[in-house]
Amino acid sequence: MANLLQVTEANFDSEVLKSDIPVLVDFWATWCGPCKMIAPVVEELAGDYAGKIKVGKCDVDSNQGIAIKFGIRSIPTLLIFKDGEVAGQIVGALPKANIKSKIDDVL
């Protein structure tokens, strides 16, 4: 978890919207089974892309304002932010290759 950023309402603007590199944010919750399945993949991606993108996790129960703002209706949802805008979206626990492909599209 060393490369993972905990994204909260307090640091969302500075860490995500104002980031100088793309940011992958995993919207999840402790009670979500598919979120637990995808967590190790998100951690691997944080290592794989270290220095190229930031990878963060946002607990939707603790940070409902962010989830509402970005229309998160089902979790896990991964949003890729670039230059303060949503540049990519992945909904559901997809294989790592699918997620990498979305990230590579943004880079």
The CATH number for 4-106, chosen from 3.40.30.10, 3.40.50.10420, 3.30.360.10, 2.40.30.20, is 3.40.30.10
Q: Which tokens in the block code for residue 100?
A: 């990498």
| pLDDT attached to residue 2 | 64
Q: ∠ at Cα 97 (94, 98), nearest 5°?
A: 50
pTM assigned to the model:
0.96
CA distance 2 to 94: 23
Clarify whether 58 is annotated catalytic: no
The residue annotated as part of the active site, out of 16, 25, 32, 42, is 32
Q: What is the pLDDT of residue 36?
A: 96
Selection from 76, 87, 6, 88 nearest residue 41 by Cα: 76
Going from N- to C-terminal start, the domains of the chain cover 4-106
Catalytic residue among 23, 35, 41, 66: 35
pLDDT tens for the 107 residues of the chain, in order: 568 999 999 999 999 999 999 999 999 999 999 999 999 999 999 999 999 999 999 999 999 999 999 999 999 999 999 999 999 999 999 999 999 999 999 99
Residue-level pLDDT at 1: 55
